[in-house]
Structure 1
């Protein structure tokens, strides 16, 4: 199971450490934050103890209104479960009682000036990506008209050169050579780079280029949802189908089924144009349009 340390999260969001400084190496393994309102009221049946606990104004104001004995009891009942950390949102103060218990139990207590709901949205997004199951594949990832595409094929087949042509046409590079795929949900696959190759594209006979330096910021983006898997293969005579609608094929990545298309290469063939057509066709299908259905309808009406 993947994990990140409380220290990594603290540095990412520039959180103030109020207690538990020596314990920032504690690990976070769950991707969503939790607001322990019911738990402070004494209800623990579904308390997600492995999640980061965020305290907003409602939780803190509730604790402020309790008597000292009640407050000590309620806080003690929650901290004994040892969640990874507590984060106080909206820059709230008057937290001596929380600091005392967190120091005693070795639980980091952190604070952010951001509003509770806004901070939780950012934190959940960060944790979802940071803790997502991931793999690395050999290929190129591009974003064509807002549609994430994974280009695969044997070394030297022309993946990077095709990506360069797409960039020249106004589309964007995400990753070259090594593409990191993260599973964000049952049907959501995110493609990104490994950091080292960020903005770089390797072209045979030319060498390494920085697409941002050559073509500007619009030529690159850090990540994109993958919705098409396109394999570039050498040309083979008499193997291309010419039916009105091809059989649906898929490639499995981390349990996510991604539509698969094979494009054969031949001198003079506009591969980048075919990829643009595939992306636009996929988009129209998501809107409920089928060129085949419209064509067959026209034949029926004749």
Structure 2
């Protein structure tokens, strides 16, 4: 399995301004500041002087709760509370829409050269944070690229790998015809979102395209509609298509679990040998459904053995 690293993407305050259509209240010349942490932070304990675990490198969010608290303070107390936070110079402050009376906050941000931003949409702070963190986690996630095909089958991400010409794209085309969705063909970009989560997506250039030998390049959305494509999916199974090897497959009740590791995350691995007449797409569907049943605690092999034991 060949894996090639992709340069880690950088994220700046200006990127957030553009993506979320934020208003820049101050710090227009500081929008180049880099954001290195994938999650934001709402200062709470910091306002009362507790800084032992203050994540200074995170984007700081000020919602109605925080702004209301600051408004209630005396000028002297407010200066102390805000001053204790801005001196750490976080990448930026984002105030959720609907907050007023921010003149004092603007002044402190100007003095410390910290961008102060404000949302346009009248949405709750928690809703905005959910969207913001989701974007930052995906953008800053470690990435790698592999040669293969990625699909969403029955709601779960499937990687299909194998040597060039083995039939990966043809199998993907069959699965699309059965109602499943293409995510990426040829180059699959994998993002590590957490120690247990790998997200599969495309590299933009190949988005919606499927390459078939003897046919050429297909745009699956134009051919089969929007339902034939999905932008990203969480990877659940890694399937490798290999050439048929006589006498290597046995009718075992349950195969020993195998895994493929991507960026330190282990993904269940299945090898499917190819032979004329084998319904590879059907086997992949069966593997997907069987994996889902295992996640729910069901094992066909265990049930079968219980039935045998009940006979004696």
Of residues 26, 30, 36, the one that matches 1:19 is: 26
Q: Find the counterpart in structure 2 of residue 267 from structure 1.
A: 276
1:97 and 2:125 are equivalent in the alignment: no
- For residues 89-117 of structure 1, the C-alpha deviation after alignment (integer angstroms, 9 at most, x for no partner) is 13312111111111121111000133211
Of residues 88, 96, 99, the one that matches 2:95 is: 88
> RMSD between aligned alpha carbons?
1.1
Q: How far apart are residue 75 of structure 1 and its match?
A: 1.3
TM-score (norm 2): 0.94
- For residues 130-180 of structure 1, the C-alpha deviation after alignment (integer angstroms, 9 at most, x for no partner) is 111111111000011101100000111100000000000000000001111
The runs of 5 or more residues in structure 2 that have no matched partner are: 1-7
SS for the counterpart of 1:120 is helix
TM-score (norm 1): 0.97
**1:11-90 residue pairs with structure 2 within 5 A?**
11-90=18-97
Of 271-280 and 127-136, more deviation after overlay is shown by 127-136
Of 249-258 and 87-96, more deviation after overlay is shown by 87-96
Distance (Å, rounded) in 1 between the aligned partners of 2:175 and 2:54: 49
SS for the counterpart of 1:11 is helix
Aligned residues: 302
1:191 and 2:200 are equivalent in the alignment: yes
- Say whether the 8 Å CA contact 1:2–1:29 is kept in structure 2: no
Of 105-114 and 22-31, more deviation after overlay is shown by 105-114
1:248 and 2:260 are equivalent in the alignment: no
Of residues 228, 241, 245, the one that matches 2:237 is: 228
Q: How far apart are residue 195 of structure 1 and its match?
A: 0.9
Distance (Å, rounded) in 2 between the aligned partners of 1:115 and 1:90: 8
The runs of 5 or more residues in structure 1 that have no matched partner are: none
- Say whether the 8 Å CA contact 1:152–1:230 is kept in structure 2: yes
**1:125-274 residue pairs with structure 2 within 5 A?**
125-274=134-283
